[in-house]
Chain A
Amino acid sequence: MDVKKSQDGTAPMDRSEELRLVQKAKRRDAEAMRALIDAHKQRLFAFVWRMHRNHHDAEEICQDAFLKAFAALDSFNPDYRFSTWLFTIAYRVTLNTLRKKRAVSGEMDWTRCASSEPDAEHEYAASEEANRLKEMIWQSVDKLSPAQRATVLLFYKQQMGCQEIATILETPVATVKSHLHRARAKLKDLLSPVLEEMSGSQRILGELAG
């Protein structure tokens, strides 16, 4: 079953189709599982990858999340989207992995996060300075706390509302709003001086505004 349509590989799945697949996946139907994985894997991976910036970790967490989701499908609440359930599990695993990593290494290696490779195909029009600002934006996102980072990624990239994010982070909606607020404040504090140093800041912002 080919559901890969968008850049994410995640064509939005019809609700009833999703429930039908979940029912079949409960009975360990391989094709249903395949369809659910294909429909969600890239979106989930994009999120987890941005949380870790490590392909191996991100892939492992996604595998883990899918297997846990499938293993516990009996307790899946059909009032929710399968993606919400999946992201909730993945976020838990992500947090645990970050904690364990920190316990092993002593502290997070933020420098690793700075090695974002610009995508030539999508960057050709942007000036060097715009690319630098973009790079700085990601470095700043990486400096947010995990919950703030997750909130920003889910809100902007995954286009989720605060309610759904609250479900995934297993936290009150008010906390999500606070994460978003603090994240923006921190991004502003980190990026404002960078932009100030650049000449033609308005033009640069215009380039990145899309």
Chain B
Amino acid sequence: MNCEQSQNLFDAYLDNSLTGTLATEFGAHQLACSHCRRDLALLEVAGHVVASDNEAPLLDDEFTSRLVECATDGPAKRPLKFSRALWVGLPAAMAACLTMIVWFGGDDASNESDPENSGPRVLGVEDEVRTNEELLENVLEALSVDPNNEELKDLADKLRAKSEKIIGDTRDGASLLQDYSEDAIKELVGSVSKKSHSRPANSVGENGSQDDAMQDQKNGSSDSRAVKPPTEEL
């Protein structure tokens, strides 16, 4: 076993899923290789440091009391700041979301490979969507109404991944928007238009096809999509 193979097995080792001859070979490599041994120890220590973390300040009883008061008295008496509560209204969000899907799906996907055609489309998206998260919020709102809609799930995953990238990125906003236009739109147009040919955006029923995510779930009770928390902006 070489170092690369050894490092590829770190996850399995750390998750206690390394067994058999592979485990033996892995162990032998660790004994012989101080570099891998140190990296592995480092990861174990990092996990331990996170696991034993207790630096978060403690929340006092006042926190609980305030919350109970808010929760039992209703929104009118909320003394807390809820600056984020911008309820858009489901029908509007739904309509906006579906408009986007129809708009994405309406054009021939082959346009994306044509720079002359893709140019104006990209601008249109920037005008229409403004930011990734606005669209994601719309999609999440729509998903809360129609949780089985495969297109919406897919769209949300992509937008979320894109947002991850945006958040994790330190480049300035302008270049991010460019990046968004170049990559994400191609992805979205490609996937949404392909699917919308076979069925309308909002018509996936209870027996909608299982995606990869669903196949990952071993049984019904552990289906990651089955918990449907309230929409972000109640």
Chain A residues with a Cβ under 8 A of chain B: 7-9, 28, 30, 33-34, 37-38, 41-42, 45-46, 49-50, 55, 58-60, 62-64, 66-72, 75, 77, 79-80, 84-85, 88-89, 92-93, 95-100, 102-103, 106-108, 110, 116-119, 122, 133-134, 137-138, 140-141, 144-147, 152-153, 156-157, 159, 163, 166-167, 169-175, 177, 180-181, 184, 187-188, 191-192, 195, 201-202, 205, 208-210
In the bound complex, CA of A201 to CA of B216 (Å):
40
Min Cβ gap A187→B in Å is: 5
Q: List 6 A-B contacts (CB under 8 A).
A: A37-B68, A38-B64, A72-B230, A80-B227, A96-B133, A201-B38
B84 on the A face (CB < 8 A): yes
Check A67/B224 contact, CB under 8 A, given A92-B229, A187-B46. no
From B45, B67, B157, B234, contact of A171 by CB (8 A): B157
* Inter-chain pairs besides A84-B227, A99-B133, A171-B213, 17 sampled, C-beta below 8 Å: A7-B54, A33-B71, A34-B64, A34-B68, A42-B56, A45-B57, A46-B54, A49-B57, A62-B63, A64-B82, A64-B84, A68-B229, A77-B226, A102-B166, A147-B160, A205-B41, A205-B45
Contact B228 A75 (CB under 8 A): yes
From B71, B163, B227, contact of A167 by CB (8 A): B227
- Tell me the chain B residues, 162-179 only, with Cβ under 8 Å from chain A: 163-173
By secondary structure, the A interface counts as helix
What 8 A-B pairs have minimum CB-CB distances, sorted nearest first?
Answer: A72-B230, A172-B213, A166-B224, A156-B50, A46-B56, A145-B168, A173-B216, A49-B56
Number of interface residues of B (CB under 8 A): 73
A-B contact count (CB 8 A): 226
Smallest CB gap from A162: residue in B: B15
Min Cβ gap A80→B in Å is: 5
Chain B residues whose C-beta falls within 8 Å of the C-beta of A62 in the assembled complex: 59, 63
Kindly supply a per-residue 1/0 record for chain B positions 207-229, scoring 1 wherever the CB is within 8 Å of any chain A CB and 0 otherwise: 00001110011100110111111
Chain A residues whose C-beta falls within 8 Å of the C-beta of B45 in the assembled complex: 133, 137, 205, 208-209
Contact A69 B168 (CB under 8 A): no
Contact B49 A137 (CB under 8 A): yes
Smallest CB gap from A143: residue in B: B168
Min Cβ gap A207→B in Å is: 9
Check A102/B51 contact, CB under 8 A, given A88-B227, A195-B38. no
Contact B67 A69 (CB under 8 A): no
From A42, A66, A92, A159, contact of B58 by CB (8 A): A42
Contact A68 B228 (CB under 8 A): no
Contact B51 A108 (CB under 8 A): no
Check A184/B213 contact, CB under 8 A, given A72-B229, A137-B49, A146-B167. no
Chain A residues whose C-beta falls within 8 Å of the C-beta of B50 in the assembled complex: 137, 141, 152-153, 156-157
From B14, B72, B164, B228, contact of A184 by CB (8 A): B14
Min Cβ gap A74→B in Å is: 10
Chain B residues whose C-beta falls within 8 Å of the C-beta of A59 in the assembled complex: 59, 63
Check A195/B42 contact, CB under 8 A, given A63-B80, A159-B51, A209-B48. yes
Contact A146 B164 (CB under 8 A): yes
Check A88/B163 contact, CB under 8 A, given A72-B234, A172-B224. no
By secondary structure, the B interface counts as helix
Chain A residues whose C-beta falls within 8 Å of the C-beta of B218 in the assembled complex: 163
B91 on the A face (CB < 8 A): no
Check A9/B43 contact, CB under 8 A, given A33-B71, A146-B167. no
From A28, A98, A159, contact of B71 by CB (8 A): A28
In the bound complex, CA of A125 to CA of B84 (Å):
43
Contact B10 A45 (CB under 8 A): no
